[in-house]
Amino acid sequence: MDLSSILSKLGLDATKEVVYLSVTPGVGLELIQLDIQTRSVKNYSCRPLEYNESLREVADIEQFKFAVEDLFSELKISHKANVVLNLPMVLFGSKELPLLLSDDAITEALTSEVEQSYIFKRYEPVVSWCDAVSNQSGDTRKLFYSAVQKNVIDDIRNALNELGITLVGVEISLTSILEALAFTGLAEEQMRDNVSWNMMLINQNGYAVCSMVGKNIVEYYEEPLAIKSFEGDEIYNAINASAQITLMSYPANYLYIISTTDMVSAELLAKRINTDGKVSFYDNNDFKRENPLPVSLEILEGMAHKISLEAIGVAVGSSSQTPVKFNFMTSSTEGGVDNPDEPVHVVLGSHEFDISPNAARNISVFISVLILIPFLAIFLVVPMIEKKKQSNLDEINSKLEQTNNEIKRIQEEQNKLNDFDANFEIKKVLRDNRLKLMAYTALGESIPRKLWITYFVAQGDGKFDIKGDCENVEDIYTFFKNMKDSLINTKLRLHKLEMKSNSVDEAVTIDPNMPTDYEFEITNMTDAEITSMEQAAAKTQDAAQQGNQQGAQQKAPQSSPKK
């Protein structure tokens, strides 16, 4: 009797297929099935689907429903199938919490954190989290968390239920991309144990840097950037200027650039970006040169070219070995709890089947009886031993409690003496000086030959004031335009532009054949801020002059009286 017959006698349905869908901006809705053994795509197709980037949701749920029905019909897939869905990432972050917190308390704390985001101020979140795979020390644990709108999952589940399809899992694009890189071997060199590398994800809203060690996420950082507002090569210059400062905070041996937007070529950006270490790339867009996996002969070449990393990653399923995984199905049903009648999908070797709660209960009882009978005689003597061991345990617990109280007292005393948080101070300095570093970099790259900077101020709050001289107005405007392009969103303005002269007569009698000097001032400060800064500088200069005068008087030799 084979495994299928045994499963059938136990009341398990071994006929349901598992189908993987991916909502992929730029492609639409993708349906994919992989042959895990041969590492190839055996079934694939896609349909256009509009995705609302500002609200981070499928724009039209009816269009989603029709696209699913069309894909199932084209690929001749039964509507009894189970679906695992990939969605674009809405929110991702990390947080350190006390070790003593229960799972429910952690979820509550992370939910409060997530609700600060502008999206989840309007919609209820479904939060999922997992422990960071790193050396946990002290009384805290580091967690990675992500969140999706509850109404989005409910709308998709209801649309699939109307077609007779069951939604059994939801993944996010970040983890799907990591799973695809591991499965296809595209990042085999970077994902080796103890190798530090950065994955840079480019989308139409900006870019994100995922700092990695092997397959483990260490840190995550997002930088919003209005990519649509740039034209031509400006977009690469903007990303390069911004990323230089960001990557300084995440030193690594490798940089892997992945572009998911058709507006940016990862290959071209990899050639232009300035960073230490080896730079690799993959274009997950129309710039793609080749498919990451071989495909079935039944899949047309034009259709195969659209296969995204997100679709491959979600289809890897249980074969994935990446440590960061999320589950958005545990609290997304009505009432915030699991549906007790929903079947559970189980993979056993090459067999996949769904098991109902009643069948699972019957099987567990049957297996439990088989296991317990041989040990029943042994368990009869446990009460005799228990009393003796209990006294020893009580004594140990008493000593343990005393030790814990002493440790707690010592830690409280140490905390009072060690209020300085080096981590916090380092991050504060990096944050305050980031715009200054960008300003110095932009200043060094933007000065024309016949232009001189006579005064430069860059404050920690993003305020700049630049004064200088130049022989012609054209170079001043060129310098002003370069500074604006390099320091995005700083609202620089040309505050002053005038000829440099000592008097009105000198300005009137300027020889047109002689070069004329012009004074200029570029700033994003208000007139009041400039006046206040100049007054403070004048006071400082006056105080210095008075100090010099007093010092000179004290050093002057005293004349001797006449005899």
pLDDT confidence of residue 449: 81
Per the CB < 8 A criterion, the answer to whether 483 and 512 are in contact is: no
Which pLDDT band, with edges at 50, 70 and 90, does 127 fall under?
very high
| CB atoms closer than 10 angstroms to residue 247 | 21
Domain C-terminal end among 274, 291, 308: 291
How far, in whole angstroms, is CA 409 from its chain's centroid? 39
How far, in whole angstroms, is CA 81 from its chain's centroid? 32
384 exposure class (CB count in 10 Å sphere: 0-12, 13-18, 19+): exposed
Which pLDDT band, with edges at 50, 70 and 90, does 265 fall under?
very high
Would you say residue 362 lies in a domain? no
Domain C-terminal end among 291, 323, 351: 291
Per the CB < 8 A criterion, the answer to whether 261 and 280 are in contact is: no
Q: What is the largest CA-CA distance in the chain?
A: 134
Would you say residue 416 lies in a domain? no
Backbone angles phi, psi at 203, to 5 degrees: -135, 180
Q: Which residues are within 8 A (CB) of 59 and not within 5 positions of it... i.e. 6 or more apart? A: 50, 51, 52
Does 286 have pLDDT greater than 50? yes
pLDDT per residue over 441-473, tens digit each?
777 777 888 888 888 888 777 788 899 999 888
Which structural domain range is residue 236 located in?
A: 191-291
- In one letter, which amino acid is 393? L
Q: Which residue has the higher pLDDT, 197 or 533?
A: 197
Does 385 have pLDDT greater than 80? no
Would you say residue 220 lies in a domain? yes
Does 440 have pLDDT greater than 90? no
Block residue for tokens 């030790």: 403
Q: What CATH number does the domain containing 224 carry?
A: 3.30.420.40
pLDDT confidence of residue 73: 94
Per-residue DSSP letter, 557: P
Write the DSSP assignment of 378-421 as a string of letters. Answer: HHHTHHHHHHHHHHHHHHHHHHHHHHHHHHHHHHHHHHHH----
Would you say residue 256 lies in a domain? yes
pLDDT per residue over 3-48, tens digit each?
445 554 554 544 578 899 999 998 999 999 999 889 999 999 999 9
pLDDT per residue over 100-116, tens digit each?
888 899 999 999 999 99
Would you say residue 47 lies in a domain? no
Per the CB < 8 A criterion, the answer to whether 211 and 198 are in contact is: yes
pLDDT confidence of residue 499: 87
Q: Which of 515, 484, 483 is nearest to 499 (CA)?
A: 515
Return d(Cα 91, Cα 148) in angstroms, integer: 7
Q: Which of 465, 456, 438 is nearest to 527 (CA)?
A: 465
Does 167 have pLDDT greater than 70? yes
Q: How many domains does the chain have?
A: 2
Instruction: Name the average pLDDT for the chain.
Output: 82
Q: Supply 303's token pair.
A: 């259709």
Q: What CATH number does the domain containing 470 carry?
A: 3.30.70
pLDDT confidence of residue 539: 86
Would you say residue 212 lies in a domain? yes
Would you say residue 333 lies in a domain? no
Domain C-terminal end among 291, 323, 358: 291
Distance in Å from the first CA to the final CA of the chain: 134
Block residue for tokens 């983890």: 175
